[in-house]
Chains A and B, each alone.
Chain A
Amino acid sequence: MTNKLKLVMVGNGMAGVRTLEELIKLTPDLYDITVFGSEPHPNYNRILLSPVLAGEQTLDEIILNPLDWYSDNHITLHTSWTVTEVDRVKRIVHATNAAGEVKSAPYDRLILATGSNPFMLPVPGRELEGVLAYRDIADTQAMIDAATKYKHAVVIGGGLLGLEAANGLMKRGMSVTVVHVGEWLMERQLDKVAGSLLQRSLEERGMQFRMGAHTQALEADKNGRVASVLFKDGSHVPAELVVMAVGIRPNTALAEKMHLHCERGIVVSDTLQTVTDPRIYAVGECAAHRGIAYGLVAPLFEQGKVLANHLAEFGIGRYTGSLTSTKLKVTGIDLFSAGDFMGSDDGSTEEIVLSDPHEGVYKKLVIKDDQLVGACLYGDTVDGSWYFKLLRDGRSVADIREKLMFGESNIGDVGHEGHSKAASMPDDAEVCGCNGVKKGAICKAIKDKGLFTLDEVRKHTKASASCGSCTGLVEQILMFTAGGDYSATPKKKAICGCTDHSHQEVRDAIRDHKLLTNDAVFQFLEWKSPTGCATCRPAINYYRLSSWPKEALDDPQSRLINERSHANIQKDGTYSVIPRMWGGETTADELRRIADVVDKYNIPTVKVTGGQRIDLLGVKKEDLVNVWKDIGMPCGHAYAKALRTVKTCVGSEWCRMGTQDSTQMGKDLEKAMWRMYAPHKVKFAVSGCPRNCAEAGIKDVGIIGVDSGWEMYIAGNGGIKTEVAEFFVKVKTSEEVMEYTGAFMQLYREEGWYLERTVHYVNRVGMDYVKKKILDDEAGRKALWARLQFALDGEPDPWFEFDKAQVDTRQFEAITV
């Protein structure tokens, strides 16, 4: 006997078992765990019952936690035992089995994960043989068996579940009629146009419909098996199998018997504790959180995570609700909906609609106050996850409104794909170009390992784990493979596993509460790990430095290697050195020194970079200090989240086309803003005429000289996905170029999230906002520019002023034994 706390769980479904998985990850030994499940199976993936019914997967394939998992984790599992009573005073649960035997288990903490029950229409004949709900493996098996013996099936209910059932039965050779009381199919997820398109498409596959039909009774044959459905209008449809799929109800029978407060589910707090008895928790479809009982898996997993956190006595997690999206699991039919896809009639919402009935494509986007609030897509759902992200983020879409309908690939955030629809890609197509991960490998990992979130896919396959440009595609594959219940549920994204706080919240806290050290941040925001991790520490370090210049001290151990050693690490552990060449201009003297250094330190490769500088590759770490000293040129920050190059053309000093002295302008900008750390790397370019030889259109700030002054373009990017910079303003003098550029940079430095490039920052806050802050507000602009100058004033060159730049020089020497 142990004296561990006793945790009992009623129910053995997806939400509950996921909670246990999370709990065991956090604290494997805190509890003796006992699970009661009414079904004879271990935890399986209920979402995938439809593919099983349709014959596309087998029952074995959808088991999530085999029996071994329970024994390996020392969980006592009682399958085929239904908990019938709970004594809350003595804290004991009593369960019975089919033979009427009784089993009891004491608890210190109790989780109710009783799921939901299908709602059966109260019509005569509902108890006849051949009348089923569609909820579990037994129902699915009964439907598969019926399909081998009988011809006619009726599915009552034209919602998500009903259509999936009808599709499965049809695939198994039955003649299927769907009876739906509503005017169109899936009215909770689709508007009328999309619902009608769906109906037409299903009709083409042979499904029959009785729309707006009210079921009066189910009629029996002479053996007591259902034979037909009778409608209110007196007509009949033959049916040897009737599946009721008119909705589910949270299963609260046990909770009510225990006198727990129930209202549309077992009412729980943000920590998933029942409001009646804090020893008792409810999670999953049976729980009502802030009035909502969720039926999709992603929110339920989110709940499970919070509950596990609480059970592990960490006490930090809070569940604050989820947004959900829907996708139908009928092979070959693409539909997606999320949010308020109907819009409202009172004129407060606007709709953008694209309809091509011939191609079977329909898209509706609902906009309210410049934000996307709903989306309903039929036939082409490739942008579903992107719309869902916009919806969740609640960012203004005013600046991309005219392009919104044409999807993310038109905006340019998806990386190298966009046209390639996840579903139609062959298995051997490469999804993640960084890590060479093919679609087949991702699908296999999702199925075999039971992955449900982007993070899990990243961890297990490395897809989208490096540059992130294939994230949209991976999300689509996830949606497509894991089924419609995938949704990227949290409304805000935590920086990392060390905290529940988002980048914005951490930024705000550091600014508002003047948190000057990492420890102050960890303490104030109740970090879960004492020293953070490789994701949050560099971010916090940057937020402190950018919010409190001259006061917050740099912590070199919170910087990744390149910024700690002030050089770029290469694959063999050597480094590259790129000295600064103002505006890309150099001299014979500098070139001679570079050449001498290359000889003296046996540097294997010398390369001209895309940013008009010279890269020395293969420098040993112990040589770095001397290489810097011998070259005698300023640090190029080519390794840092900082201002890198200012690329220029030769301009009016030499060029016969030149209208402005772009080289001088570039040098001035670079001299004013070098040593400027930023959320991510920053690149400028200055061209002397509209021929734009310096390629200013793909830089964070691009300046183009014209006869009457300078045009300024911002938020371009030549990297992962080419982003053309947008025209920002035209100014007359070079002083104005300096002021506007500096102001934009400071705005980005103060508000950007760590690792967010200018293009992503501007996309997030909206170009209108940036214009308002810099173009419309002269005093604000000047203040921003002044703050940047203050921050940069006297900043050290890390290649020469080691003490001032907090460079730990011990790193350059090895200890010898």
Chain B
Amino acid sequence: MTEWKVICKVDDIPVLGARRVQRAKGVEVAVFRNAEDKVFALLDQCPHKRGPLSQGLVFGETVVCPLHNWHIGLVDGCAHAPDEGCTTRFAVRVENGHVALDVNELNTLAIDDATVTN
């Protein structure tokens, strides 16, 4: 059974924008909201040079990394060709306007990355 943790309301995320979610341990998670009110969650770290994706410009189902303009797919967390690389995806559940993330994923996914620095 997946244990879901409510993070915020959909309306707490700007349309075509993002919020950062701080975890007990590990790099923050970015939750995005697009123009159709779809919500996505990715590790807040570009696969290129670790830029904070939560700070990027969102369009369609893409976020553009604020550091070097890489285009990252919100659905799969992967860079658009010809760039290569993926960031970690997190499962999202939206119910009654509330955004929830998987507790197990929050506690385990990409935790080690926090120790890596540039």
Name A's B-contacting residues (CB within 8 A).
Answer: 459-460, 465, 529-534, 537-538, 556-561, 564-565, 569, 571-573, 808, 810-811, 814-817
Contacts and interface: CB of A to CB of B under 8 A. Distances in A.
A810 B67 CA distance: 21
A810 B12 contact: yes
B22 A557 contact: no
A168 B50 CA distance: 51
A817 B106 contact: yes
26 contacts: A459-B82, A465-B69, A530-B60, A531-B16, A531-B35, A531-B58, A531-B59, A532-B59, A533-B60, A534-B56, A534-B57, A534-B64, A538-B57, A556-B14, A557-B57, A561-B55, A565-B55, A569-B55, A571-B67, A572-B118, A814-B19, A815-B21, A815-B22, A815-B31, A817-B5, A817-B101
Interface residues of B, number: 38
Interface string B4-20: 01011000101111011
Interface string B40-66: 000000000111100111111010101
A571 B118 contact: yes
Given A569-B66, A569-B67, A817-B101, A808 B17 contact: yes
B87 interface: no
A90 B15 CA distance: 52
Given A533-B59, A815-B20, 12 more contacts: A465-B69, A533-B64, A534-B56, A558-B57, A559-B57, A569-B55, A571-B118, A810-B12, A810-B14, A810-B19, A814-B28, A817-B7
Interface of B: 5, 7-8, 12, 14-17, 19-24, 28, 31, 34-35, 49-52, 55-60, 62, 64, 66-67, 69, 71, 82, 101, 106, 118
Given A530-B35, A530-B60, A571-B118, A557 B17 contact: yes
A817 B51 contact: no
Contact of A557 (B7, B58, B60, B71): B58
Which of A459, A558, A572 has its CB near the most chain B CB atoms (within 10 A)?
A572
Among A529, A537, A558, A573, the most chain B Cβ lie within 10 Å of the Cβ of A573
Contacts of A459: 82
Nearest to A816: B22
A537 B60 CA distance: 12
B16 A557 contact: yes
A817 B56 contact: no
Given A815-B7, A815-B21, A460 B82 contact: yes
A811 B20 CA distance: 8
Contacts of A558: 16, 57
Which of B7, B16, B21, B34 has the most chain A CB atoms inside 10 A of its CB?
B16
Contacts of A460: 82
Nearest to B52: A573
A811 B12 CA distance: 10
B28 to A, nearest CB: 6
Contacts of A817: 5, 7, 21-24, 101, 106
A814 B20 contact: yes
Contacts of B66: 560-561, 569
Contacts of B12: 810, 815
A716 B64 CA distance: 31
A808 B7 CA distance: 19
Nearest to B17: A557
Nearest to A565: B55
B51 A573 contact: yes
Contacts of A529: 59-60
Contacts of A811: 14, 17, 19
B105 to A, nearest CB: 11
Contacts of B106: 817
A814 B5 CA distance: 16
